[in-house]
Amino acid sequence: MMTTTMKEGLEPAVELMNNVLRQATTVVDEFPLVFRSGFSGQVVSLGTSENVQSVCAILMREAICNDTTLPMGLIGSVTTDSDHRRSGLATNVLIAAEARLAEQGAIISMLWADDPRFYFARGYRPVGSENDFIIDADMIESLPIIENIRLANADDHEAIHGHYCRHASRLNRTVEETSALLDCPGMTTLVHEDGDHVLAYACMGRGEDLDGTVHEWGGDLNSVLGLVRLHAESRDTTVPTFLIAPRNETELAQRLTLMGSPPVTGLLGLAKIVNREAAANLLDELVGDTAKVTFFPDGSEFEQVQVEAAGGTEFLNDDTLLVLLFSGKGERAETEAFGDHFGINVDRLPLEPFVWGLDSI
Ligand SMILES: CC(C)(COP(=O)(O)OP(=O)(O)OC[C@H]1O[C@@H](n2cnc3c(N)ncnc32)[C@H](O)[C@@H]1OP(=O)(O)O)[C@@H](O)C(=O)NCCC(=O)NCCS
């Protein structure tokens, strides 16, 4: 099994994050792609190297959305030392993080927050969607019972990665990255095997955020549902278990709806455009010949992205660009209304990025 060490010089930043955000675990184990050497994530901090005052984690990723690849940067663990709050430090850490992600090719930055107000005020908007399913005690009885389920071990990581890579919406990961993520604390990964073959896997729990939630799974659908049953049965069944899925995993949604658990639509996350020119170019590509989207580098913030189509010419601000590319709640209606208004073909819109539970930072 691969052994990894922590990146050099990060101890003060890790100490601040652990003190504020984590009690039982450490961010180093929970987010190996940021803190472990050999992986690409980084830490952005303000203060001195000995006395870090404000900090966040960043990780450059590529989101596969069917036939489109979207470069996006993840931001997590935004933290300011309690003695230095309300002086604009986290605001500046965020600005620095977004700039670094843009340098690395990101079009948007994405993050998750329990209280989104701080991020709304800094340009973040809800984007995309996910399906959330509630597996309560009655529902468990409807899920299939399957045999030959066991805990995953390191020898399964390659097969698990193979199943992950078959999802239409996912973040690009190497097998080494999947393997490191599968070792996260507080997570149970079950596999269903047939002889030497892993037919399916399902991960439940991860750190403090995804407790009681099956947040990543893949492989044969019936097997996945059997794994979900065992995960749910392993908990106090008076408390529901949650299952998260991309909205384009329609077969899963149909099966669970028939069993009595229709999906509840949740938001994917909060996002901000960090490279307006690249966002304009992406939109131009996605609308094909039906419109021309132009970026004017010398324009003001609100006069940089122009769309010209049969229905007229207009400048798009970042909020509209985000809605067009991703839609606020993952619903097509907003995007289609815009397409009708301008006479633009929006068949390839909105994009449907999805971030599986193992990827969050
Ligand atoms: C949330 C958190 C990161 C904010 O850090 P911070 O450094 O205090 O953030 P800022 O100073 O940039 O902004 C916070 C507030 O201070 C105010 N502020 C900013 N600069 C200021 C200044 N120079 N003088 C006075 N107030 C100021 C802002 O109005 C802002 O409030 P707003 O959101 O209503 O605009 C910090 O409170 C924290 O670590 N919380 C615990 C961990 C957490 O919840 N993290 C989020 C995980 S995703």
Pairing verdict, β 305-309 and 291-295 = antiparallel
Question: Residue 3: pLDDT above 70?
Answer: no
Q: What mean pLDDT do residues 192-200 have?
A: 95
- Cα separation of 161 and 182, whole Å? 10
Q: How far is the CA of 87 from the centre of ligand 1 (A)?
A: 7
Distances (CA, A) of 159 to 140, 165, 229: 27, 10, 21
55 C-alpha to ligand 1 centroid (Å): 12
Whether 231 has a pLDDT exceeding 70, the answer reads: yes
Global pTM exceeds 0.85? yes
- With a 6 Å cutoff on the Cβ, whether 86 touches ligand 1 is yes
Contact yes or no for 118/86 (Cβ under 8 A): no
Taking the C-alpha atoms of residue 55 and residue 179, their distance in angstroms, rounded to an integer, is: 26
Q: How far is the CA of 90 from the centre of ligand 1 (A)?
A: 6
Mutate to test the pocket of ligand 1, among 19, 44, 45, 85 (most ligand atoms within 8 A of CB): 85
Query: Binning pLDDT at 50, 70 and 90, where does residue 296 land?
Result: very high
Atom of ligand 1 lying closest to residue 80 CA: 39
pLDDT per position as a tens digit, 41-68: 999 999 988 899 999 999 999 999 988 9
| Domain 11-111 CATH (choose: 3.40.50.2000, 3.30.70.1350, 2.60.40.10, 3.40.630.30) | 3.40.630.30
Distance 73 CA to ligand 1 centre (A): 21
d(CA 299, CA 159): 50
pLDDT tens-place string over residues 239-281: 999 999 999 999 999 999 999 999 999 999 999 999 999 999 9
Provide, rounded to the nearest whole percent, the portion of the chain with pLDDT above 70. 98
In terms of CATH, what superfamily is 131-268?
A: Gcn5-related N-acetyltransferase (GNAT) (3.40.630.30)
Q: Where are the domains of the chain?
A: 11-111, 131-268, 275-342
Residue minimizing CA distance to atom 20 of ligand 1: 88
Cβ of residue 91 lying under 6 Å from some atom of ligand 1: yes
pLDDT at 22: 83
Mean pLDDT (the chain, rounded): 94
- Enumerate long-range contacts of 248-253, CB under 8 Å, 24 or more apart: 248/66, 248/168, 248/169, 248/352, 248/354, 249/131, 249/167, 251/221, 252/131, 252/221, 252/224, 252/225, 253/131
CB atoms inside a 10 Å sphere around CB 144: 15
Whether residue 144 is predicted with pLDDT greater than 90 in this model: the reply is: yes
Ligand 1 center from residue 277 Cα (angstroms): 29
Q: Output the pLDDT for position 23.
A: 74
pLDDT at 1: 42
Q: Is the Cβ–Cβ distance between 12 and 50 less than 8 Å? A: yes
Q: Which residues contact 24 (CB under 8 A, 6 or more apart)?
A: 186, 208
Same topology, domains 11-111 and 131-268? Answer is yes
